[in-house]
Amino acid sequence: MDRRDFFRVLSTTSAGALASCNRKSDPLIPLLVPEQEIAPGEELWHPAVCSDCAAGCGTLLRIMEGERTIEIHNEKVRQRIAAVKKVEGNPLDPVSGGRLCARGQAAVQSLYHPDRLRGPMKRTGERGKAQFTAVSWTEAIEIAAGKIAQVRAADPSRIATFSGPHHGMRALALERFTHAMGSPPPAVCSPADFAVEQKAADLVFGWKGLPVYDLARAHHVLSVGADFLGAWASPVYYNRQYGTFRQGRPTVRGRLAHAESRLSLTAAAADQWLPLRPGSEAQFLAAVGRMLLDLGLARDRTHGATFASVDPAAMLAVCGLRDRQVRELVQQLGESPAPLVIAGASVVYSNSLDAIVASHYVNLMLGNVAKAGGVLSPAVSPPPTHRTAADALLRAGAVLIVDANPAYTLPPSSGVLDALAHAETVIGFGSFLDDSAAWCDLLLPSHHGFESEMAVVPAVSPQPAVSVGRPFVQPLYDTRALESTLSEIAGKMNVSYQAASLQDLLPDGVTPEDAARQGGSWLEREAEPPVRPATAVIGFHAANFGGDPARYPLLFQPYPSLQFHDGSGSNLPWMQELPDPVSSSMWGLAVEMDARTAASLHIATGEVVRVESPHGWFEAPAYVHPGAIPGVVSMAVGDGHVNYGRYASGRGANPISILAPAWEPATGALILGGTRVRVQRTTGRRPWIQFSSRDREERGFEHR
């Protein structure tokens, strides 16, 4: 089938008008679709892109005729609309391949969410109290331009922009805006940025961006610290790869060993899980490298010098592992025709960079870099240089917040709330009144991704790719495309600013129409560039954990969750309803702890515990996890929003809120695993919903 004919493509050039009307029944379809193309009961599919994480999966929207009731001139009016009923993966897209994760499926809920901001608003109460009143766009742009101009005139470096981890048209618009203002680039403010992984690839190979792990063609895989089936870099892409790795080849079933300090989804799916002490990934990989040398299985010994002086027994003691647990898997890896080490930092520790650099050296020794079944160079455009969040907080005169929620994703100990309270002005461009928007003076809401032109450069792609969506749904509310809001502010300030367009991200010879018709632009991958000699130095230092071990004896590790990601998905009821993969919690997350620690503290599953660090405390139900490592307390990120609409506000606790203000030294990424805590049972009770209230392991094995 011809790619162009694959879709029944809707016209995106003939705009249906949304006219005001005072009749009881309005025949107009407020969409960019001619009315005759929407037939009752008939479905249409429209290519789009998911922007709920940086993976940038290509999607298809299932469209059918629907109806909405709105108020026009104080009278309720029914309007026929083309409604998005379902979101699926775009089979042509090399990242999604026709699949989506749960968050991608739930994008339809964020489009029709009852808490979406309806139009621009300005603050009426104190900052942080979330009290606003509606204003016109003209007034809002004038206020925004005036406030930013004041700070810019005094010192443009005090314009602090916080953004999400996405790379695409919106990010490009923001980068051009900050450049035009003469201010520093945006600070990415999300635990799902993967800056450490990118830094390691740059240090060792000179690659810009996230490497592509060719899992589908590997035979033996050792993954370390990267929950690639959970919320790491590109969940849909790596789940698809994993399917092929396990079951997609007639004569090979891939074998996976996974080393991580948590029984994550990837650990649970692996043939072998090696439970590491938190922050010991670098020591583990040092032992693996040395064992490869000792076993004579290093195919390229030139990179073995890095591990020559390592004492594997001492390194494995730090990890909490024994020699024989590791030596056999190293033997299998070394003898495999297609071995691969995947390493990442689902939880960033102070020494995560050492660990990922070490993994690249092990791959060099295995001779699989830039080869099928090995580590491939990034195929997509490099992400631009960013400012660190710590630096942005220090110089926050005018704060601009786009696709980010720093008041949630940074701990109060970092000074984020003080910065928001004392900045000259704080302006938000998001779609919802979240924790950070509550501190804004002005809210300039952007269109939903399905309502505006959207292009996302996927974080991981096997070939050069840009996922593209053209507006299909006429904006439901008085919102604007971010690109045009920034243009208007720059125009009002008489600052020359080149607005970002779809064409800016497309390769030469590809028109926006061509890309939008199939949902993206995908080029053939060129030959891998030659691997440059690696020179990065590894320290194998122990990870730092803040807090007195005598007072705070437990290690704490919050992690991005499958359903809520960096917390941005928790305002969606479908995501709250999705049972947590670890505890099967619904509508509230639990603190995971091991049975031995729980018994010593007289804590049982479901009881409310107080988790306290030197920087704060929270309360949440305990989940005594059969697979948790003794002395380690884990919790998924997602709950604990002060402000995030009716489904998320005041629900549960935010584990980031008690972290130390510690940053990974080379990248400025927030260290998630660097804080000690103590846990106490409380007398409190609160409802806690579990999908399966008893672990299968407790029921014995007769049901299997």
* 189/554 with CB nearer ligand SF4: 189
Rounded to a whole number of angstroms, the minimum distance from the CB of residue 375 to ligand SF4 is: 21
According to DSSP, the residues that pair with 680 across neighbouring strands are 610
What would the DSSP string read from start to end of 659-699? ----B-TTT--B-SS-EEEEEEE-S-----EESSSS-GGGG
For the chain, state the CA radius of gyration: 25
* 52/594 with CB nearer ligand SF4: 52
* 469/512 with CB nearer ligand SF4: 469
d(CA 147, CA 129): 21
Rounded to a whole number of angstroms, the minimum distance from the CB of residue 399 to ligand SF4 is: 26
User: Where are the extended beta strands (E) located within 11-146?
Assistant: 25-26, 44-49, 58-72, 75-89, 121-123, 132-134
Evaluate whether 329 touches 211 at the Cβ level (below 8 Å): no
In a 3-state reduction of DSSP, which class is residue 244?
A: helix
Rounded to a whole number of angstroms, the minimum distance from the CB of residue 575 to ligand SF4 is: 10
Classify the C-alpha dihedral 677-683-685-691 as positive or negative: positive
Angle at 62 between CA 60 and CA 65, to 5 degrees: 150
Rounded to a whole number of angstroms, the minimum distance from the CB of residue 402 to ligand SF4 is: 18
Residue 617 CB contacts under 8 Å (≥ 6 apart), including other chains: 610, 611, 658
Which one-letter amino acid corresponds to residue 485?
Answer: T
* 566/607 with CB nearer ligand SF4: 566
| Residue sitting closest to ligand SF4 (CB) | 104
* 97/334 with CB nearer ligand SF4: 97
* 321/379 with CB nearer ligand SF4: 379
Evaluate whether 410 touches 162 at the Cβ level (below 8 Å): no
Rounded to a whole number of angstroms, the minimum distance from the CB of residue 561 to ligand SF4 is: 12
Residue 577 tokens read as 């309803």
Closest to 515 (Cα-Cα) out of 100, 165, 30, 7: 7
Return the DSSP state at 446.
B
Rounded to a whole number of angstroms, the minimum distance from the CB of residue 243 to ligand SF4 is: 15
- Helix, strand, coil tally for the chain in percent (to 5): 30, 20, 50
d(CA 632, CA 553): 9
Residue 604 tokens read as 């049982």
d(CA 256, CA 269): 8
Q: Which residues bind ligand SF4 (CB under 6 A)?
A: 50, 52-53, 55-57, 100-101, 103-104, 235-236
d(CA 665, CA 562): 27
* 58/547 with CB nearer ligand SF4: 58
Rounded to a whole number of angstroms, the minimum distance from the CB of residue 183 to ligand SF4 is: 29
E strand or H helix at 181: helix 169-181
d(CA 573, CA 99): 21
What would the DSSP string read from start to end of 133-154? EE--HHHHHHHHHHHHHHHHHH
* 30/469 with CB nearer ligand SF4: 469
Rounded to a whole number of angstroms, the minimum distance from the CB of residue 190 to ligand SF4 is: 12
* 103/676 with CB nearer ligand SF4: 103
Rounded to a whole number of angstroms, the minimum distance from the CB of residue 55 to ligand SF4 is: 4
Rounded to a whole number of angstroms, the minimum distance from the CB of residue 467 to ligand SF4 is: 8
Report the C-alpha dihedral over residues 568, 571, 577, 581, rounded to 10 degrees: 20
d(CA 524, CA 530): 18
Residue 659 tokens read as 């972290």
* 235/638 with CB nearer ligand SF4: 235
Rounded to a whole number of angstroms, the minimum distance from the CB of residue 56 to ligand SF4 is: 6
* 145/188 with CB nearer ligand SF4: 188
According to DSSP, the residues that pair with 86 across neighbouring strands are 62
* 106/326 with CB nearer ligand SF4: 106
